[in-house]
């Protein structure tokens, strides 16, 4: 065993799995505590609301002595006596505020959608804080903006120009001064309803004519950010240009497809980067990997044990779990030599999962 690590945040399975495979003993503080999280962790504590996370973190830290703390979304700024492996709390705050990220891009001469003055439409509205894109929306009129404000009262937001293109990202590791791109990803979004910009999966690698340019820009951003460990840079890419959108100073939801596509271990890359060791080059592509998060299309209860499908599913809910319409059910994977082959296998696996659920 290389050491004992506590992974804390809203969702931790992807990081706990990577840490376990890297040879660490893992404990977790997590909102979901799905069945497969128990496969990779010695102990787990489930919390309901983010306000309960600090108490859960304290409780777990009293049970065991940990060598390091690794955080995911929702836990980036939490104080702890456990040594943090990642971007220091005093440095991470600026990258949790989308207005500060906007100013960072502008200061560093990075192409970014411009901020719009009040009254200019159409506009992309984004909450200044929060992850996953679930409350992002395009509004075309003042009435549409007012409706969004009523839906999310008291939420501070930014208004950006709308940029058409493919949502993508670059996973990087950085030591605070230099950075190395690990993988490019196409991001899958809901594409419908009130959460149409919500993250629901990824395809790795992102094979696009501008992928190489995107990698160079991402490494520039990651190096200038001062972040330590793994971080993700989000983009929107069209046929001519890539626009940087956000910086995620933590493990990203693309961990699974990055590791499946490149045969690497992102947790070990993260730990090494925190010790000032970056990989000499980006890992080579082994295959194309895709992850799709399935969402409930109605209120339902899962009576089937999906662990039988563990070769191509993750985030497996306990038998008897109930879900409301729109909640995430399970992650499903596909892979292959090409994007087409990976997507075809994904569709086959989704059909199997759907039969089990029904």
Cα separation, 291 vs 314, in Å, equals 9
pLDDT band with cut points at 50, 70 and 90 for residue 358: confident
| Same domain as 249, residue 309 | yes
Instruction: Answer yes or no: is 95 within a domain.
Output: no
For residues 317 and 33, the answer to whether their CB atoms sit within 8 Å is no
Q: How many domains does the chain have?
A: 3
Residues 39, 43, 48, 52, CA torsion sign: negative
- Judge contact between 30 and 37, C-beta under 8 A: yes
Residue 100 lies in a domain: no
In a domain, 124, yes or no: yes
pLDDT attached to residue 270: 98
Q: What percent of the chain has pLDDT over 90?
A: 95
pLDDT at 209 over 90: yes
pLDDT at 192: 79
Residue 193, pLDDT > 80, answer: no
Same domain, 171 and 156: no
Residues 309 and 353: beta-carbon distance below 8 Å:
yes
Are 348 and 298 members of one domain? Answer: yes
Task: Kindly state whether residues 212 and 300 are assigned to the same domain.
Answer: yes
Nearest to 175 by CA among 56, 254, 85, 302: 85
Whether 17 shows a pLDDT value over 90: the answer reads yes
pTM, entire model = 0.97
Do 330 and 181 share a domain, yes or no? yes
pLDDT at 132: 86
Say yes or no: 134 and 263 in one domain: no
Q: Tokens at residue 325, please?
A: 């319409």
Pair 133, 274 in one domain: no
Q: Is residue 238 a part of any domain in this protein?
A: yes
CA distances from 246 to 134, 236, 273 (A): 14, 10, 21
Structure token pair of residue 143: 């009435």
Residues 74 and 178 in one domain: no
Q: What is the pLDDT of residue 317?
A: 97
Distance from the Cα of residue 76 to its chain's centroid: 13
Same domain assignment for residues 54 and 170: no
- 303-351: pLDDT as tens digits: 999 999 999 999 999 999 999 999 999 999 999 999 999 999 999 999 9
- Assigned domain for 146 exists: yes
- Domain containing 61 equals 4-85
The answer to whether position 274 is within a domain reads: yes
Over range 227-241, report the average pLDDT.
96
Residue-averaged pLDDT of the chain: 96
Asked if 57 and 8 touch (Cβ cutoff 8 Å), the reply is yes
Residue 27 within a domain: yes
pLDDT (tens digit per residue) in 20-71: 999 999 999 999 999 999 999 999 999 999 999 999 999 999 999 999 999 9
pLDDT at 194 over 90: no
Q: Average of pLDDT values for 200-229?
A: 98
The pLDDT value recorded for residue 253 is 96
Is 318 within the bounds of a domain?
yes
Same domain, residue pair 29 and 121: no
Q: Are residues 187 and 332 in the same domain?
A: yes
Q: What CATH number does residue 279 fall under?
A: 3.30.470.20
Residues 127, 188 share a domain: no
The pLDDT value recorded for residue 55 is 97
The residue-averaged pLDDT of 85-109 equals: 96
Which of 85, 102, 136 delimits the end of a domain? Answer: 85
Residue 33 sits in a domain whose CATH number is 3.40.50.20
Tens-digit pLDDT profile for residues 287-299: 999 999 999 999 9
Q: Which residues contact 132 (CB under 8 A, 6 or more apart)?
A: 73, 198, 199, 253
Listed in sequence order, the residues at least 6 apart from 268 whose beta carbon sits closer than 8 Å to its beta carbon are 22
Question: Which of 160, 193, 225 delimits the end of a domain?
Answer: 160
Give φ, ψ of 355 to 5 degrees. Answer: -65, -40
Residue 234 backbone phi and psi in degrees, to 5:
-90, 145
């Amino acid at each position: 065993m290389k050491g004992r690590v506590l992974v804390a945040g809203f969702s931790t399975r992807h990081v706990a799995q990577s840490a376990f495979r890297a040879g660490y003993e893992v404990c977790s503080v997590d909102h979901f505590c799905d069945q497969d999280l128990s496969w990779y962790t010695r102990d787990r504590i489930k919390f309901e609301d983010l306000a309960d996370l600090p108490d859960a973190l304290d409780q777990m830290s009293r049970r065991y002595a940990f060598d390091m703390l690794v955080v995911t979304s929702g836990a980036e700024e939490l104080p702890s006596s456990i040594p943090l492996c990642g971007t220091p709390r005093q440095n991470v705050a600026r990258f949790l505020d989308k207005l500060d990220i906007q100013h960072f891009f502008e200061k560093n001469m990075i192409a970014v959608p411009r901020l719009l003055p009040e009254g200019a439409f159409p506009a992309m509205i984004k909450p200044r804080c929060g992850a996953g894109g679930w409350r992002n929306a395009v509004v075309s009129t003042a009435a549409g903006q007012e409706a969004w404000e009523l839906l999310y009262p008291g939420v501070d937001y930014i208004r950006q120009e709308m940029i058409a293109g493919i949502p993508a990202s670059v996973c990087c590791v950085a030591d605070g001064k230099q950075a190395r791109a690990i993988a490019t990803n196409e991001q899958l979004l809901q594409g419908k309803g009130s959460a149409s910009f919500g993250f629901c999966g990824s395809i790795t690698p992102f094979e696009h004519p501008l992928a190489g340019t995107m990698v160079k820009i991402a490494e520039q951003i990651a190096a200038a950010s001062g972040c330590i460990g793994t971080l993700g840079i989000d983009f929107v890419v069209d046929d001519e240009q890539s626009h940087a959108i956000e910086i995620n100073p933590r493990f990203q939801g693309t961990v699974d497809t990055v590791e499946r596509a490149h045969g690497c271990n992102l947790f070990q890359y993260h730990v090494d980067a925190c010790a000032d060791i970056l990989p000499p080059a980006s890992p080579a592509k082994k295959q194309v990997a895709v992850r799709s998060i399935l969402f409930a299309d109605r209120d339902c209860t899962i009576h089937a044990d999906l662990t039988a499908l563990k070769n191509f599913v993750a985030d497996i809910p306990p038998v008897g779990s109930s879900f409301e319409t729109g909640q995430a059910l399970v992650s499903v994977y596909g892979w292959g030599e090409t994007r087409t082959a990976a997507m075809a296998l994904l569709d086959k696996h989704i059909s199997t999962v759907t039969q089990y659920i029904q």
